[in-house]
Structures are given as C-alpha cells and as structure tokens.
Chain A
Amino acid sequence: MSGSNATTPSLKERLGFTGGAAALRVRFFGVIGFLVALIVIFTTMSDRFLTGDNWRSILFSAAILMVIAASQAIVVLTGNLDLSVGSIMGLVAYVVYDIGGMNEAFGPFAIPFGLLIGLVLGAINGYLVAYLEIPSIVATLGTLSVYRGFVSFYANAQQVTVEELPRYMRDLAQATWLGLPAYVWVAIAVVLLVALVLRRTPWGRQVYAYGSNPKAAYFFGLNSRRIILQAYAVSGMVAAFGGLLLGAQIGNINSLLANGWEMQALAAVVIGGVSIWGGSGSVIGAAIGAIVLATINNGLVLLHVQEFYRLLIQGTAIIVAVGVDAIVQRKVLSATTRRRIMEVEQ
C-alpha cells in the first residue's frame, strides 16, 4: 500500500504538472505581455514615461499593492477570497502605531505585534470559512465591516500622527537602497518569500492541491479545513505587514486607512493570472498584476487622461483578464480530459 502511495502522487503530479505548467506559462506570459504592451504604448505617447525617475515612482506606488496582492493570492489559490484585507491593514496599522505612540518602549515590537494581530484576524476569517462553512464572500464581507467598525470604535475619531510612528518605520518609508525606494526591495522580498513558501514547501503544495481539486485533496487525506484556516492566517499576516508599510508611508493614520484596498488587491490578483477558481496561478504573477495597475495609473496621469477613465480602463482590464483565464481553464480541462480517455483506452 505504501509503495503504491509513493508512486501514485508522482504519476498524478506528472500529469497535473504538464497540463498545469502549460496553462501557467500562457497566463504568466500573458501578464508580462500585457505589461510590455502597456509600456510600449505609453512610451510612444509620452517621452517622460520611460525615465528612471518615473519608473522609480511606478514601482514605489506599486510596492504595497504587491504585498497585498501576494496576501490575497494565497487565499484565492484555495478557491476562496478575502474582502477584509483593507480592514485588516487599517486595523493593524492604527492599533499598532497607536500603542507605539503611547509607549516608547513598544517601538521595536511594532512589526512582530502587528504580524500577530494580522495572523489572528486572518485566522478568524479562516475559521468562519473552513469550520463554520460560511461562503468566503459572506464571511469576509462580514469581517470587513467588523474589523473596520472596530478600528473606528477604537480610534474614536482620533488620528495617529506622524510623530507617533516608530522612527525606523518612517526612515524605511523614505529610504532609498541601491537606487530604488526601500519599499520596493521590501515588497520584492515579501513576494519572493511567499512565492517560495507556496512553491517549495509541503504546506504550499497542499494549498495548491486543495485549490485545484478540493475533492481529490480530501480523498488524498489532506486536512482541508486546516489548510484553509492556515492560508487565511498567513494571508492576514502578510496583509498586516502591508498595512504597517502603508501606515508608515502615509504618516497621519485615521480609522479609514486602506479603505477599499480589497478591490485593488483582487484586481491585481485577477489581472496577474491567478485563477479565481483556485489552484493555479502564481504569487509573482499577482505582484506583476499590481505593477500593471500602477503602470496604468501612472501612464494615464502622464497622458493627462482624466482620473475617471482610469476606473473604466481598470475595470475592462479585469474582465479581459478573467476572460483569458476562462479560455485557458477550458483548454486545460479539455486537454486533461482527453489524456484521461486515452489512458483508459491503453
């Protein structure tokens, strides 16, 4: 029995790998192709687009969204979604910096404490989805309100001012390392770390396995509920880190910090080629999705296009991305089904 167990997954993985990898490649290069097309269009239309300064500003404005997109991608890979990321970011940033402002000695613990809060908030989401079996839209719609309501309640119409932030976070927000804003390096590091964990660790492979086929994962003996719970918890932790970054960048934090970021994050993830059905797509793709959004914003500003068109174009980009995703999904499906039939015939 153990022998067959050892060979079966490798066979399955081989089959899954070829089909999935092909789809991934199409999707992944689709995003990059889209980005390149945008760059070409904007470069021909504005001579200020392809300058170093402009690229630094694009990457800087994309940095935090890259982190949040990575956080959202973890959950989307399990076939769920998290509408409460914006509220988690706001709650963590406000509470952590507020406590830090009142207590000097707290300063060094700001990041670990923030990550811990994010972990707990994410785990609450995960518990609702995995154990209470509440559909993820409903559950995270609820926690979106609850977490945001909590910050508002806690803040009591006050603000955390720039002076209250820990010195090192302020410095990080303004620092430049090797010619790029420090935030960009931090974002890249976070994205690569999340990508590595998802791609190379057993836990990460379980997330993909559950997302691509919950039934098969269940029969294979994976603890599905725990995977979802953990995915949400890790996602919450990454979102919390993004919230801390955003708070330090903005400086004066009120209870509405990061309101509406869940839509941006979802847009980045979808444009980045992570399947909304779960199970396929990459965190790096999601991060590139964030860069695509930032590039669109930047280019439209340079072209003096009114702010209004940005929404229209972003919305259209999401629909096109989902459409491409659906086509790829169907291609892969028909390919794998055909292979299965052939196997039976042999």
Chain B
Amino acid sequence: MKSLTRTFRWELLLVGLIVLAFVWGSFLSPYFLNLNNLVFSAQTFVIFALMAFGLFPIVVQGEIDISLASTLAVGSVLFATFSVNGIPLIVALPVVIAICAGLGAINGYLVAYLGLPSLAVTLGTLGAYRGLAYILAGDAGVTGITQEYKQIAEIWLGGIPLLLIMIPVAALLFGVLMGWTRFGRASYAIGNSADASRMAGMNVNLNRVGAYALAGAMSGLAGLVWVAQYQSARGDNADGTILFVVTAVVLGGVSIKGGSGRALGVFLALLLLATLQTGMRLANVPGTSQTLVIGLLLILSVGVPSLVSQLRQRFGAKKPATPAFLPSEGETAGSEGASAPTEKV
C-alpha cells in the first residue's frame, strides 16, 4: 500500500488539488456544481485533451512538439473543406488524419533522422503549418459545415456528450499504449537514455517518428472536434493554445526531460486545469489574467518537488552533493572534445 501511494504520489496530489478547486468553485458561484455547467465547460477542453495526449509520448521520449496547434489548424481547415464539398465524413476522416500524421512524421523525421533539436524544428513547422492552414483556408476561412460533420458535437450517450467521452477514452488508450505496448516501453527507455536504447537494439528513430506521427494524428482528430464544435475553420484556429497543452502535460507529472510520466497524470492535470478555468470564468476573471494562475501552477508543480529534493539532499541524507544541474545525457557528449585536455593535466 505504501509503495502504491508513493508511486502515485503525483496523481494523489493532483486529486487533492482537484477536490480543493471543486470546493473553491462551488463557494464561488452557485452555478458551478450545476451538471449542465460542468458538462458544457468540460466540452471546450476536448480539443486540448486530444493534443495533450498526443504530445504525451513525445515528451516521454524527451522531445517536444510545439507545432501541434498548427497541425490542428490544417486538420480543421481540411475537414471543413471536405465537408463543404460534400465528401462524406467516413472518407474524409482517414484522409485528413493521415495527412496530419504525415505532418507529424515530417517533424519526427527532422528530429530523429537528421538529429535536429525538436524545439527549433517544431518552431519552424509551427510557422510553416500555420501558413499552410492559412493558404488552404483563404482569407475568409471555411464556413457552411454540413450537418454530417456538425452532429458529432450533438451526439449524447447516456447523458454525456460523445466528445466528452473521448477524453477518458483517450486517457485509457494512451495509458495502455504507454504502459503495456512495445512502443510505450520503448518510449520510456528512449526518454531515459536514447544512446542506451540504441545500443540495446531499439529502433530509436522509428519510435520517434511514430510518436510524432501519432501526435499529428491526434491533432487532426482535434481538428474534427474543432469543426464540429465551432462549425467553421480558419487559418488561425487554436493559435497560441500549445502553451496550455504543454502545461497540461508537464503538470500531469510527465518530466520534460523524458523517461517518466503516466496518462492518468495527464488526465488529472487536464481535469484540474478545466476545473480552475471554469471556476475563474464564473468568477469573471478575464481570460488573460487566468494565465497568471495557470503559469504559477506550472512553475510550482515543477519547482516545489525540485526544491524539496534539494533541501532533502542538503539537510537529510549525507550523500555527496552531485552537481545536478549538469546535463546528464547527449547534450554534453557533443562538446566533450574541448574538456578532455583540461582533465588530463
């Protein structure tokens, strides 16, 4: 039991925070605990959730993708265009998802096979894909979505909208994917040490491309949700939302250095962020001021554990203090050459 609470310490913390946020929210406004309110505000987070779960394996592998919101824009514009041109959803869905997965795979190829830093690559594709979405959508964007596409947002299963069910389903699928499949286990191994994984015979590059393609596909799916919910698509769809997505993943306990984190954590982090935002919206906190709270949460969630472990190291166990700020893998290997002469002398 004790080991279980230790393993899921982060998730327990998140659950505690969610409970606190719920209590705070219900004190704030009598409308907060209204089921309709909760369901409707939760629906706006489906798009972020899909992107967050897509980003999750990439971060576990120790990389990042900040171009996902732009991929979403491409996906939503494509779905809208297909819809307006009368192409049935059953045809559009695999085509668009495949295109978005392809966009993700381009990121993955540049990162894995060409060895480029993922932040810089996806910074580039962030602009490039966004430009692509603008070009496809034209000045005015695409409107006049057909009923077939819109109705996705209108299906309710047992009192809950279908779109909302996608969040726990995605959480479950990604939990299984990362916990019990070859790809998932390889992702954690790569995140811990890409070099060791390579020497152990894993195809690191292929796994990387796979993770990026999966994230692209998830963003494409989020594009469909966007079209169904907002009934239009423009080039600037979801612009700037990637910060929220990264926050959700990191707050979920997924180390940005790679190698650890669980889908359950990401799910709980999304729940916490959604609860907080809904509460703040009811309290009439303007959207931009809400970012203050979310940013603080992000810093505290990473900073406090780090501070605690540092203090413990200093005052607790008498281990020799290792310079923890030294980058552990890859990074230093690149410039080993210059240091060697000094060490020899």
Point out residues on A near B: beta carbons under 8 Å.
4, 8-9, 11-12, 15-16, 19, 79, 81, 128, 130, 132-135, 137-139, 141-153, 157, 212-216, 218-220, 224-225, 255-256, 260, 263, 266-267, 270, 276-277, 279, 306-319, 322-323, 326, 329, 333, 336-337, 339-340, 343
Contact = CB atoms under 8 A, between A and B. Distances in A.
Most A CB within 10 A of own CB, among B124, B290, B296: B124
Interface residues of B, number: 64
Given A4-B345, A150-B292, A318-B123, A142 B298 contact: yes
Interface in B215-243: 235, 240, 243
A270 B338 contact: no
Given A145-B291, A152-B289, A214 B338 contact: no
Contacts of B126: 263, 315
Contacts of A337: 337
Contacts of B323: 218, 224
Interface in B252-295: 256-257, 286, 288-295
A323 B125 CA distance: 13
Contact of B291 (A149, A224, A319): A149
A141 B341 contact: no
Contacts of A139: 299, 302-303
B247 interface: yes
Interface of B: 64, 110, 114-117, 119-121, 123-132, 134-135, 235, 240, 243, 246-247, 250, 256-257, 286, 288-296, 298-299, 302-303, 306-307, 310, 323-327, 331-332, 334-343, 345
Contacts of A255: 288
A320 to B, nearest CB: 8
Contacts of B240: 260
Contact of B339 (A79, A128, A215, A323): A215
Contacts of B119: 81, 137, 276
Contacts of A8: 341-342, 345
B338 A138 contact: no
Which of B115, B292, B306 has the most chain A CB within a 10 Å cutoff?
B292
A211 B334 CA distance: 12
Contact of B116 (A11, A148, A319): A319
